[in-house]
A and B are shown apart, each in its own frame.
Chain A
Amino acid sequence: MRYAADPQAMRLAVALDELVALYHRPSGVTHLLAPPAPELLDALAEGPADSAELLVRLSRLYDLPDAAAGAIAARMEELVLAGLAWRA
């Protein structure tokens, strides 16, 4: 399963300590995101990717103590459900 998201310019993000309030311009809907959701959306800025590729992209920037493709897929399905990403 590959995922894609709108370019970053389509989102307006405000950091709220541990959370990110994210306004999605195309849909006009606001979401509250906890890690690693904002990081996953940023990682998709490079282009569509599957869970394994997203894991690689995140591991370039972060230490991932509980790295698992299954967890990435679960987070991505949440983002799809919210309308912030889609299955490419």
Chain B
Amino acid sequence: MAEDCDKPEKSAEISNDRLASAGRRGVLMLGAVAATSVVTIRPALASTAASVLNCKIPIPDPSHSGKYIAQDGKLVAPGTAGAVQPAPRPLTGDEAKKMINGMSPPGFDPNARQAYVNYIRRLQHGTSGFTCYASLQMPGR
């Protein structure tokens, strides 16, 4: 599964095949502008909003210490052209949220913002900072 994550093109093929294999052309209603089509199931988290905003996301993960971050968020060798240096310190959940929303919190290079945001979006289970990011994703945080 993990190796598929870096191949969105392949996913697109699978998606199209799946739709084509349905073998018939369905009717799809887009719905009224005010309609609702997404309901998020919210697990009851023990953590409070405050602790979520103070959790930490190291960039990169300590196991990849020293690596640079490419603009698409992938980790690359130090000094790679176009890539940015590791964050000077772990981001707090609040800082990560600000970066995701287009702001540039103090202490971080504004030019590195997009690379950091893309790195955060790629965080997976088992990677340092994932739980923090997942918590930020909870609606209402």
Question: Which positions in A face B, CB cutoff 8 Å?
Answer: 6-10, 24-37, 39, 42, 45-47, 58, 61-68, 70-72, 74-75, 78-79, 81-84, 86
Q: Are B27 and A65 in contact, with the CB atoms below 8 A?
A: yes
Q: Are B37 and A78 in contact, with the CB atoms below 8 A?
A: yes
* SS class, residues of chain A in contact with chain B: mixed
Q: Are A83 and B137 in contact, with the CB atoms below 8 A?
A: yes
Q: Are A36 and B28 in contact, with the CB atoms below 8 A?
A: yes
Q: Are B11 and A32 in contact, with the CB atoms below 8 A?
A: no
Q: A7-B5, A7-B11, A42-B15 are in contact. Are A31 and B41 (CB under 8 A)?
A: yes
Q: Are A68 and B30 in contact, with the CB atoms below 8 A?
A: yes
Q: Which residues of A contact B25 (CB under 8 A)?
A: 61-63
Query: Does B44 belong to the interface (CB within 8 Å)?
Result: no
- Number of inter-chain CB pairs below 8 Å: 129
Q: Are B26 and A36 in contact, with the CB atoms below 8 A?
A: no
Binds A, one of B57-65, B88-96, B104-112, B116-124: B116-124
Residue of A nearest to B28 (CB): A62
Q: Are A36 and B38 in contact, with the CB atoms below 8 A?
A: no
- Other-chain contact of B30, A32, A33, A67 (Cβ < 8 Å): A67
Q: A8-B11, A46-B12 are in contact. Are A64 and B40 (CB under 8 A)?
A: no
Query: Does B82 belong to the interface (CB within 8 Å)?
Result: no
Q: Are B134 and A9 in contact, with the CB atoms below 8 A?
A: no
Q: Are A45 and B27 in contact, with the CB atoms below 8 A?
A: no
User: Distance (Å) between the CB of B120 and the closest chain A CB?
Assistant: 10
Q: Are B28 and A45 in contact, with the CB atoms below 8 A?
A: no
Closest 10 CB pairs of A and B: A27-B137, A62-B28, A9-B4, A8-B11, A7-B8, A71-B30, A45-B12, A7-B11, A37-B37, A83-B137
